[in-house]
Amino acid sequence: MVLGPLMIDLHGPVLAPEEREILMHPLVGGVILFSRNYESREQLAALTAAIHAVRSPGLLIAVDHEGGRVQRFRAEFTELPALHRLGEEYARDPDAACGLATELAWLMAVELRTVGVDFSFAPVLDLYNGHSRVINDRAFHAEPEAVARLAQAYLRGMHAAGMAAVGKHFPGHGTVVADSHHELPVDRRSFYDLTMRDLLPFRMLAAAGIDAFMPAHILFPEIDAVPVGYSKIWLEQILRRNLEFQGAIFSDDLSMSGAMIAPTALERARLALAAGCDMCLVCNDRPAVEAVLGGLKLGPSPLTQVRLMRMHGRAVPVAAGGLEHDARWRNAVALAARLDVEPALDLGDDAPA
């Protein structure tokens, strides 16, 4: 079977028989996990093994696990600092901060890979702005050059741990105040202004070989009349052609208020896929998932399959005997502890980030 264009969620910590049937549907290609799917590392490893065993090739398993207030699994996982803490360190010593970024990204990724999670939707490439309630300290820094440099270091850490990376939220969510979970943000800046600032980290990460991007549910009326995730101008013309990006494109959750440009999830999925998304997320709405699976007619694209297959997790480079015996893991845990983790605003366990 090929990987379908839909990523869905599960109800709880075990794979229910009816969910197994849904995962067998050829339009399903992945599963996104939330806090409700987690009880312990042992339980999570069993859940991911069950998901991967449903089909061959295995379905992609993803999670939002950035650190700070967006970390779905906490007990038995290292508590990770918000990415902005790395930006604060960057202001003091850029080279040291980049080293920290690599080690903390490796730590995040290796702890997920050792329990069977393929990838995290990270890193955030938005620019820091204290007025953005939804992004805020999830962003590395206010300056695009600093974001790009820290994110490239973060990418190296994820890759070293056998994990693909997903930069979000293209072309930049940090400047708008509105939260796309609850409304459609509108950014009225020109393309020139975006190019000079917000787009720079995405351009540099595309050149650095990042594996995937996630577009924002934001409307830029100076560029197109539809939000980014439904825009061929943004995804095909700007991201694919201008930035020469060859990786996968994952939509943000089509159930979010900012995504509601069409009345049904089926229509929104059709629009997102037609615009250039390789995989669409539909979360916390099982009837919507069933409607999409029942109505979407889409043949497999060889190019999309290549992009998605590259998102599978690779071999985990840890010492024999597990993480606790690995010197790099122990050192990274100590580094995380020294950064004074202070989770702030809680987005909610079941809110895609």
Across the chain, which has 353 residues, the per-10-residue mean pLDDT values are 95 97 97 98 98 97 96 96 96 97 98 97 94 88 97 98 97 75 84 96 98 96 96 98 97 82 91 97 95 90 95 89 92 91 48 65
pTM of the model as a whole: 0.94
CA distances from 149 to 98, 130, 140, 205, 297 (A): 7, 21, 10, 9, 41
Which tokens hold the place of 157?
Answer: 């850490």
What is the full DSSP assignment across 184-241?
--B----HHHHHHTTHHHHHHHHHHT-SEEEE-S-B-TTT-SS-GGG-HIIIIIIIII
Pairing of strands 60-63, 119-120: parallel
Other C-beta atoms closer than 10 Å to the C-beta of 296 total 17
- Domain 6-337: give its CATH code: 3.20.20.300
- pLDDT for the residue numbered 343: 45
> Domains of the chain: which residue ranges?
6-337
* 181 classed as catalytic: yes
Backbone angles phi, psi at 12, to 5 degrees: -150, -160
Say whether 84 is catalytic: no
Could you say which of 181, 198, 312, 326 is catalytic? 181
d(CA 190, CA 131): 20
What residues contact 98, with CB distance under 8 A and at least 6 apart?
90, 149, 150, 152, 153
Buried residues in 245-256 as b, exposed as e (16+ CB within 10 A): bebbbbbbbbbb
CA-to-CA distance for 321 and 256, rounded, in angstroms? 42
Q: What's the N-to-C CA distance of the chain in angstroms?
A: 29
Sheet containing strand 279-282, edge to edge, reads: 119-120, 60-63, 28-33, 6-8, 279-282, 248-253, 212-215, 166-170
**Chain centre to alpha carbon of residue 220:** 21
And the tokens for 20?
């197994």
Which of the following is catalytic: 252, 253, 278, 326? 252
